Amino acid sequence: MVVSIENKIDQVVMESVFSPIIQFSLLLDGKNISFNSILKSLAAENVSILAVSFLENFETATIRFVVNYPDEVRKFCSRNTISYHETKVLGVEVDNMDEIAQAVNTISAAEVKIHYMYAFFVRFGRKIGIILQTENNEFAANVLHRIGIKTISQNDIGR
Protein backbone atom coordinates (compact mmCIF):
# COMPACT_ATOMS: atom_id res chain seq x y z
CA MET A 1 0.00 0.00 0.00
CA VAL A 2 1.38 3.40 -1.00
CA VAL A 3 0.95 6.16 1.56
CA SER A 4 1.15 9.68 0.17
CA ILE A 5 2.84 12.59 1.90
CA GLU A 6 -0.57 14.14 2.44
CA ASN A 7 -1.82 11.02 4.26
CA LYS A 8 1.24 10.96 6.49
CA ILE A 9 0.80 14.65 7.25
CA ASP A 10 -2.81 14.01 8.24
CA GLN A 11 -1.55 11.38 10.70
CA VAL A 12 0.88 13.74 12.46
CA VAL A 13 0.52 13.39 16.19
CA MET A 14 0.40 16.72 17.98
CA GLU A 15 2.96 15.48 20.52
CA SER A 16 5.90 17.71 19.65
CA VAL A 17 9.32 16.45 18.65
CA PHE A 18 10.57 20.01 18.12
CA SER A 19 13.65 20.91 20.10
CA PRO A 20 14.93 24.23 18.79
CA ILE A 21 18.32 25.54 17.84
CA ILE A 22 19.09 29.11 18.87
CA GLN A 23 19.88 31.47 16.01
CA PHE A 24 21.37 34.89 16.62
CA SER A 25 20.70 37.80 14.28
CA LEU A 26 22.81 40.92 14.18
CA LEU A 27 22.27 44.07 12.18
CA LEU A 28 25.66 45.66 11.56
CA ASP A 29 26.01 49.16 10.16
CA GLY A 30 29.68 48.73 9.19
CA LYS A 31 30.80 51.64 11.32
CA ASN A 32 30.94 50.19 14.81
CA ILE A 33 31.96 46.55 14.47
CA SER A 34 32.68 44.12 11.65
CA PHE A 35 31.62 40.53 11.29
CA ASN A 36 35.28 39.57 11.03
CA SER A 37 36.01 41.08 14.45
CA ILE A 38 33.02 39.23 15.90
CA LEU A 39 34.30 35.94 14.44
CA LYS A 40 37.75 36.49 15.94
CA SER A 41 36.36 37.47 19.35
CA LEU A 42 34.00 34.50 19.55
CA ALA A 43 36.76 32.11 18.42
CA ALA A 44 38.96 33.45 21.24
CA GLU A 45 36.20 32.33 23.64
CA ASN A 46 36.00 28.83 22.05
CA VAL A 47 32.68 29.61 20.39
CA SER A 48 32.31 28.10 16.93
CA ILE A 49 29.94 29.51 14.35
CA LEU A 50 28.46 26.35 12.86
CA ALA A 51 26.05 27.89 10.34
CA VAL A 52 25.74 31.40 8.97
CA SER A 53 23.65 33.46 6.59
CA PHE A 54 24.98 36.88 5.59
CA LEU A 55 23.02 39.52 3.67
CA GLU A 56 24.51 42.91 2.90
CA ASN A 57 22.38 45.83 1.71
CA PHE A 58 23.80 49.28 1.09
CA GLU A 59 25.42 50.28 4.41
CA THR A 60 24.10 47.49 6.64
CA ALA A 61 24.51 43.75 6.93
CA THR A 62 22.15 41.22 8.48
CA ILE A 63 23.92 38.21 9.89
CA ARG A 64 22.10 35.12 11.12
CA PHE A 65 24.21 32.46 12.77
CA VAL A 66 24.12 29.35 14.93
CA VAL A 67 26.81 28.52 17.48
CA ASN A 68 27.77 25.69 19.78
CA TYR A 69 27.51 27.87 22.94
CA PRO A 70 24.64 30.40 22.86
CA ASP A 71 25.27 31.60 26.43
CA GLU A 72 28.76 32.76 25.46
CA VAL A 73 27.35 34.81 22.57
CA ARG A 74 24.85 36.47 24.90
CA LYS A 75 27.67 37.39 27.31
CA PHE A 76 29.87 38.64 24.46
CA CYS A 77 27.11 40.83 23.03
CA SER A 78 26.28 42.22 26.46
CA ARG A 79 29.93 43.07 27.23
CA ASN A 80 30.34 44.76 23.86
CA THR A 81 26.90 46.45 23.79
CA ILE A 82 25.98 44.67 20.58
CA SER A 83 22.26 44.41 19.89
CA TYR A 84 21.08 41.00 18.82
CA HIS A 85 17.91 39.02 18.35
CA GLU A 86 17.40 35.35 19.18
CA THR A 87 15.15 33.08 17.17
CA LYS A 88 14.28 29.44 17.71
CA VAL A 89 14.91 27.68 14.40
CA LEU A 90 14.50 24.13 13.15
CA GLY A 91 17.58 22.01 12.51
CA VAL A 92 17.32 19.09 10.10
CA GLU A 93 19.82 16.32 9.38
CA VAL A 94 19.74 14.66 5.95
CA ASP A 95 21.88 12.28 3.90
CA ASN A 96 21.80 14.05 0.55
CA MET A 97 20.20 16.68 -1.68
CA ASP A 98 17.25 14.39 -2.44
CA GLU A 99 16.33 14.38 1.24
CA ILE A 100 16.58 18.18 1.36
CA ALA A 101 14.10 18.30 -1.51
CA GLN A 102 11.89 15.75 0.27
CA ALA A 103 11.95 17.86 3.47
CA VAL A 104 11.07 21.05 1.59
CA ASN A 105 8.31 19.31 -0.38
CA THR A 106 6.88 17.75 2.77
CA ILE A 107 6.81 21.05 4.62
CA SER A 108 5.20 22.73 1.60
CA ALA A 109 2.63 19.93 1.28
CA ALA A 110 1.72 20.56 4.92
CA GLU A 111 1.01 24.16 3.89
CA VAL A 112 3.74 25.55 6.13
CA LYS A 113 5.62 28.49 4.66
CA ILE A 114 9.43 28.36 4.75
CA HIS A 115 10.82 31.83 5.44
CA TYR A 116 14.47 30.93 4.84
CA MET A 117 16.99 28.12 5.05
CA TYR A 118 20.76 27.73 5.03
CA ALA A 119 23.30 24.97 5.58
CA PHE A 120 25.70 24.16 8.39
CA PHE A 121 29.44 24.49 7.79
CA VAL A 122 30.07 21.30 9.72
CA ARG A 123 28.81 17.87 8.88
CA PHE A 124 27.37 15.42 11.38
CA GLY A 125 29.19 12.22 10.49
CA ARG A 126 28.31 11.97 6.81
CA LYS A 127 25.08 13.96 7.21
CA ILE A 128 24.17 17.44 6.00
CA GLY A 129 22.70 19.89 8.49
CA ILE A 130 20.14 22.49 7.42
CA ILE A 131 18.67 25.41 9.36
CA LEU A 132 15.04 26.23 8.56
CA GLN A 133 12.81 29.01 9.75
CA THR A 134 9.16 28.34 9.00
CA GLU A 135 5.90 29.91 10.04
CA ASN A 136 5.39 26.95 12.41
CA ASN A 137 8.63 25.16 13.32
CA GLU A 138 6.97 22.81 15.77
CA PHE A 139 4.47 21.52 13.22
CA ALA A 140 7.17 21.31 10.52
CA ALA A 141 9.37 19.22 12.87
CA ASN A 142 6.47 16.85 13.60
CA VAL A 143 5.72 16.45 9.89
CA LEU A 144 9.38 15.73 9.08
CA HIS A 145 9.65 13.29 11.97
CA ARG A 146 6.59 11.44 10.71
CA ILE A 147 8.27 10.73 7.35
CA GLY A 148 11.59 9.75 8.97
CA ILE A 149 13.64 12.92 8.56
CA LYS A 150 15.65 13.62 11.71
CA THR A 151 15.55 17.01 13.39
CA ILE A 152 18.47 18.18 15.52
CA SER A 153 18.57 20.35 18.62
CA GLN A 154 20.93 22.80 20.30
CA ASN A 155 22.18 19.91 22.44
CA ASP A 156 23.14 17.99 19.29
CA ILE A 157 25.40 20.78 18.05
CA GLY A 158 27.03 21.79 21.36
CA ARG A 159 30.31 20.20 22.34
Structure confidence at residue 13 (pLDDT): 46
- Tens digits of residue pLDDT in 17-60: 788 999 999 988 765 667 888 889 999 989 999 999 988 887 78
| Contact between residue 46 and residue 69 where contact means Cβ atoms under 8 Å apart | yes
pTM: 0.83
Looking at the chain, which residues constitute the CATH 3.30.2130.10 domain(s)? 22-87
User: Cα Rg for the chain, rounded, in angstroms?
Assistant: 17
- The rounded distance, in Å, linking the Cα atoms of 53 and 63 is 6
CATH topology of domain 5-20+89-157: Alpha-Beta Plaits (3.30.70)
Helix ranges (H only) for 45-157 are 70-79, 97-109, 137-146, 154-157
- Tens digits of residue pLDDT in 112-150: 999 999 999 877 678 899 999 999 999 999 999 999 999
Could you tell me where the beta strands, DSSP code E, fall in the chain? 21-28, 49-57, 60-67, 85-94, 114-119, 128-134, 150-152
Is 3.30.2130.10 the CATH number for 22-87?
yes
Looking at the chain, which residues constitute the CATH 3.30.70.260 domain(s)? 5-20+89-157
